[in-house]
Chains A and B, each alone.
Chain A
Amino acid sequence: MKAPRTKLVRQILSDRKLAREFMGKVMLGARSDESQYIEVDGKKYEILSLRASTSNRKQ
């Protein structure tokens, strides 16, 4: 089953440099309360998230 992918992220991933910056900011955002932003084609977007977690039930 394919996971959802937004047009914006598809656009970001097509640019290596932007993709690295995006992933870096997403990982950083996961570990700090600071808001993260990314600029794509001159437009600025705030990266937001809703968290959930699960554990391997085999353990």
Chain B
Amino acid sequence: MNIAFSALVIFFLLFPGIIFRIAYLDGPYSRRTVQSSFVDELILSLIPACFIQFIGYLIVENLGVIPVEVDEKLIYQLITGQPAIDFSNIETGLKGFLEYHFLVYVVAFAAGKLIRRIVLDRKLDYKYHFLRIHNEWYYLLTGRFYISDLMSENAGTDVYADVLVETNEGSYLYSGLIKDFFLSKDNGLDRIYFEEIFRRKLEGDLADQSDPMMQNEKVEKWLDSRYYEMPGDIFVIPYSQIKNINVRYLYFKAVEVEIEAGGNSDTDKEIS
């Protein structure tokens, strides 16, 4: 038996897993990388393929949806490439084999789409790594993966980032709110769009956080004088220029302000 024929049979058996994986991951900002090889896809599709084939086998054997009887011995011989195969068995079972696989491919595609919808709706990809649908940049820069129970899901979050950029004139720290981001062809990060961005030289780092300069500035105008506000609406930073990124996910808690009678001081109370 030709080894290529065995490989073809194995491919037929694993193909539902590939279809399931494509249906599950298909979409923008997918975790599936363009660069992944065919062998990678086969390996990653192995578990869903085994599961789907096992369910299909049980249905065909017990429910009789398709009038075909699974010849396990023949399948074993085909996979292992044994030379002593009765081709008349293949000939009689071919129609049923193709019908079965067409049905399984349709079911695999539908199952992939259905499970994707359930995972997205119930936000299960936030909790479980193996269910992740989008790539790591999506979760990092939207804050979706890091949203904690402390944050109100309804109120949402805003993503603030400090980005270190190296230029010929030295290292600059850009701080602002992430507005948008784009991925490159290889599913890496290509560029980040910021709004409300401020810049300062990295050499301006304060050794001591309680430096009087910083304290005075914040009281007067809330802006650290080391920062320069970048004019413009959107500031674009290519990923190739970024040394590292520090991300903060902002959220808000409303506080009730109680004015004490006869006093100037306010007492803040969290609203639950």
A28 to chain B, nearest CB (A): 5
Please tell me if the beta carbons of B176 and A24 are within 8 angstroms of each other in the complex.
no
A52 to chain B, nearest CB (A): 5
How far apart sit A58 and B243, CA to CA, in the bound complex (Å)?
A: 9
How far apart sit A33 and B62, CA to CA, in the bound complex (Å)?
A: 65
Given known A-B contacts A13-B196, A20-B229, A45-B253, A6 and B158 have beta carbons under 8 A apart? yes
Please tell me if the beta carbons of A3 and B142 are within 8 angstroms of each other in the complex.
yes
Contacts of B250 in A (CB 8 A): 9, 26, 47-49
B138 close to chain A: CB less than 8 A: yes
Please tell me if the beta carbons of A27 and B175 are within 8 angstroms of each other in the complex.
yes
Binary flags per residue of A17-52, CB closer than 8 Å to B gives 1, else 0: 001111111111011100001000001111111111
How many residues of chain A get a CB closer than 8 Å to chain B's CBs? 39
How many residues of chain B get a CB closer than 8 Å to chain A's CBs? 62
Please tell me if the beta carbons of B255 and A46 are within 8 angstroms of each other in the complex.
yes
Contacts of A21 in B (CB 8 A): 222
Select one of B146, B151, B196, B239 contacting A19, CB under 8 A: B196
B78 close to chain A: CB less than 8 A: no
**Chain B residues with a Cβ under 8 A of chain A:** 28-29, 138, 140-144, 146-148, 150-151, 155-160, 162, 175-183, 195-196, 198, 206, 209, 214, 218, 221-224, 227, 229, 239-240, 242-257, 268, 270
A–B Cβ pairs within 8 angstroms, 7 of them:
A1-B182, A6-B156, A6-B252, A23-B196, A44-B257, A45-B252, A53-B247
- Beyond the given pairs A24-B224, A44-B254, A46-B268, 19 more chain A to chain B contacts, judged by CB atoms under 8 angstroms and listed by A's residue number, are A1-B180, A1-B181, A1-B183, A3-B159, A3-B177, A6-B251, A6-B252, A8-B155, A8-B252, A20-B221, A23-B223, A26-B250, A27-B175, A37-B255, A45-B252, A45-B254, A49-B250, A50-B251, A51-B246
